[in-house]
Amino acid sequence: MGEDARPPGRTLSRRELFTLFGALMLAMLLASLDQTIVGTALPTIVGDLQGMSDYTWVVTAYLIATTASTPLYGKMSDLYGRRPIILLAITVFLLASALAGLAQNMLQLVLFRGLQGLGAGGLMTLAFTIVSDVLPPRERGKYQGLFGGVFAISSVAGPVLGGWLAEVDWRWIFYINLPTGLAALIAVDLVLRRHHIPTRRHKIDYLGAACLVPAVVCLLLGTTWGGQTYAWTSGVIIGLFTAAAILGVLFLYVETRAEEPILPLRMFRHGTFGLAAAIALVFGVAMFSGIVYIPLFFQMVRGYSPTHSGLLMLPMMGGMLVTSISSGFIISRIGRYKWFLVAGSVVITAGLTLFTQLHLDTPLWVSGGYMLVLGSGMGMFMQPLVLAMQNIVSIDDLGAGTSTNNFARSLGGAIGTAVLGAVMNNRLDHELREHLPGAVAQLDPERTQGFDDADLSNVIESPTVVQHLPEPVKEVVQLAFTDGLDMVFAVAAAIASLSIVMTLFLPNLELRGAPPDGSHDDPAAKADEIRSETSP
């Protein structure tokens, strides 16, 4: 047994559980806050660094690194113990945050955001995994609902805080992680020293990692560059997708031979696990389309400041907070999760469909209602999906199983952000090239300077630039963004609708663990019971 070994029968009191969860939620706050705090500030950041064409890369680089590293963290924590791996993740995240705050150009910012993603890949995965170490599935719902509440709270605070800091100095969006991260580092270290998790003899799957990471990177680079930097039929894009496919096949082959595979394929023998992973991937597209593109509408189309646009997103985050916590407690009582996933997927699809109706003159109370619908669906969907996947795997695969959910969701988010970014840019480019010359022709000759040959980069540089454009040009830009965003949300809704069909095929399994009358009060003993039930 390693340093995280725990004596058999060791139980955690209620106070110890809340102390442990408090430390884990602080760690999770880092990753979830950094996903949302950047969104409202992005138009300002890319305007300052002069890189509007690279708008999605600030998000995509983060997601690529998170996606590629998530399964590695899950498996390493199964082998080496939770404490050293989560401390490593926090440390990497803090270093990257400091560097991102110092970035002097878009290339540096994108690279440091990628490094941030390497740290963030372990934070959410390991937080959920450690919860699963100390509680049986039946009891996890109410606690993981609280973790979902942390994500919702960060989603509320993130856009507002990010918007305010963007108006002060956007670099503090990254510097603000440092005090919170240091507190999380100390808290997690102290708590996990007292509450050890068992480990076993290990052998790292280096060959599997060498296939998985470049496969994911090639896939996401091809998706991101395709249709924008390079044509879809170009040798670069075809080469990236070919490399991703070959490396993916090699990875699966290696995993069938590895003594300690990163992604134990035995988990997929249960069809429900593979279906749940596919659902997580689809959900990732829906989640990140809301986080990334709604602030763009409020700032570029409606002309609101970053702070104001963050405040306008409160209905979405409030809906997420309420349904995440309430669904967790209800699931713990009834012991089943399927219909929360079905209902959540319906509501998410409806919310994204409503967003296609956003226009320049849409009343704020209407857009707020749309966001409330989307947030409510996301809240009732996120935690039950984690429970579904954890409920299937054995104790030995909890880390890998939980990380598979996060991997699939991040992969969906990365692919979705790239695809939707391509949709947005292509539509925006088309609308501007078609209508901008006519708008420029309406200007007095002395005001046409800077719009020669309908210079597109001139008119979409930042929200501030858009708001100070001559009225005919400004109207064309606003309508072009509206049209592009309508297309983005229509595509996202179509993708999200797949989750409705997929969740209907999930079996209505009962969560393992203590009945709702609380007759089993010993989480560790219950975990031992699950271990005996799920061992081969």
For residue 203, the model assigns a pLDDT of 65
pLDDT at 95: 93
> What is the structure's pLDDT at 452?
56
pLDDT at 369: 93
Instruction: Look up tokens 């993916």; give the residue.
Output: 248
3-state secondary structure 19-32: HHHHHHHHHHHHHH
Res. 69: pLDDT tops 90:
no
Mean pLDDT of 310-333: 82
Count the neighbouring beta carbons within 10 Å of the beta carbon of residue 70: 29
Cα angle 410-402-114, degrees, rounded to a multiple of 5: 35
Cα–Cα distance for residue pair 299/289, rounded to 1 Å: 16
- Best mean pLDDT range from 312-316, 373-377, 391-395: 373-377
CA distances, 529 to each of 366, 448, 514, 533 (Å): 50, 75, 10, 6
Instruction: Give the closest residue to 38 by CA, choosing from 121, 107, 109.
Output: 109
Q: Of 350-354, 420-424, 444-448, which gets the smallest average pLDDT? A: 444-448
More confident residue, 481 or 228: 481
Strand partners, 336: 510
Q: Which of 119, 488, 507, 154 is nearest to 293 (CA)?
A: 488
Of the pLDDT bands very low, low, confident and very high (cuts 50, 70, 90), residue 370 is: very high
In this structure, what are the phi and psi dihedrals at residue 510, rounded to the nearest 5 degrees? -90, 140
Cα–Cα nearest to 90, from 121, 114, 69: 121
Question: How confident is the model at residue 347, as a pLDDT?
Answer: 94
Half-sphere exposure of 200 (CA within 13 A, CB side): 6
Question: Which residue in 226, 217, 189 sits closest to 90, CA to CA?
Answer: 189
Of these ranges, 141-155, 246-260, 345-359, the one predicted with the greatest mean pLDDT is: 345-359
Highest mean pLDDT among 55-69, 160-174, 518-532: 160-174
pTM of the model: 0.70
Please measure the distance between the N-terminal and C-terminal CA atoms of the chain and give it in whole angstroms.
20
Q: What is the mean pLDDT of residues 353-368?
A: 89
Residue whose entry in the numeric block shows the structure tokens 């600030």: 58
At 140 the pLDDT is 61
Model pLDDT, residue 350:
94
Residue 131 has pLDDT above 80, yes or no: no
% pLDDT > 90, the chain: 11
Average pLDDT, the chain: 77
Q: Which of 273, 216, 101 is closest to 170 using CA atoms? A: 101
More confident residue, 116 or 269: 116
Nearest by Cα to 312 from 389, 231, 401, 375: 375
CB contact at 8 A, 342 and 490: no
The answer to whether the beta carbons of residues 99 and 113 sit under 8 Å apart is no
Assess whether pLDDT exceeds 50 at residue 518: no
| Two tokens, residue 196 | 């050890």
Q: How far apart are CA 299 and CA 44, in angstroms?
A: 10
**Residue pLDDT, tens place only, 146-168:** 676 676 677 667 777 877 887 78
Residue 424 · residue 94 · CB < 8 Å? no
Lowest mean pLDDT among 25-39, 41-55, 71-85: 41-55
Is residue 452 packed enough to be buried (19+ CB in 10 Å), middle (13-18) or exposed (0-12)? exposed
What was the pLDDT predicted at 242? 94
Crossing angle of helices 137-169 and 523-534, rounded to 10°? 110
What is the architecture of the domain spanning 14-205+259-444+457-529? Up-down Bundle (1.20)
287 in Cβ contact with 375 (< 8 Å): no
Q: Residue 260's closest CA among 399, 118, 70?
A: 399
Query: Which tokens go with 296?
Result: 């763009």
Listed residue (513, 525, 418) closest to 141, CA to CA: 513
Average pLDDT of 480-487? Answer: 89
Q: How far apart are CA 480 and CA 428, in angstroms?
A: 5
Token representation of residue 268: 């997929």
The full set of domain ranges for the chain reads 14-205+259-444+457-529, 206-258
Look at residue 492 and tell me whether its pLDDT is greater than 80.
yes
pLDDT value of residue 527? 40
Banded pLDDT at 515 (limits 50, 70, 90): very low
Query: What does the pLDDT average to over 410-419?
Result: 78
pLDDT classification of 52: cutoffs 50, 70, 90: low
At residue 91, the pLDDT reads 92
| Rounded mean pLDDT, 101-106 | 85
Burial of 179 (0-12, 13-18, 19+ CB in 10 A): exposed
Count of C-beta atoms within a 10 Å radius of residue 246? 13
Q: Which residues contact 235 (CB under 8 A, 6 or more apart)?
A: none
Assign 514 a pLDDT band (cuts: 50, 70, 90): very low
**Residue 510 per-residue DSSP state:** B
CA quadruple 310, 314, 319, 322: dihedral sign: positive
Of the two residues 373 and 180, the one the predictor is more confident about is 373
* Measured distance CA(522)–CA(365) in Å, rounded: 48
Read off the amino acid at residue 345.
Answer: S
pLDDT at 262 over 50: yes
> pLDDT value at position 453?
52
Give the pLDDT confidence score for residue 493 in this predicted structure: 92
- State yes or no: pLDDT of 354 exceeds 90: yes
The whole-number average pLDDT for the span 171-184 is 86
Please tell me the distance from the alpha carbon of residue 364 to that of residue 375, in angstroms, as a whole number.
16
User: In the chain, helix, strand, coil percent, each to 5?
Assistant: 80, 0, 20
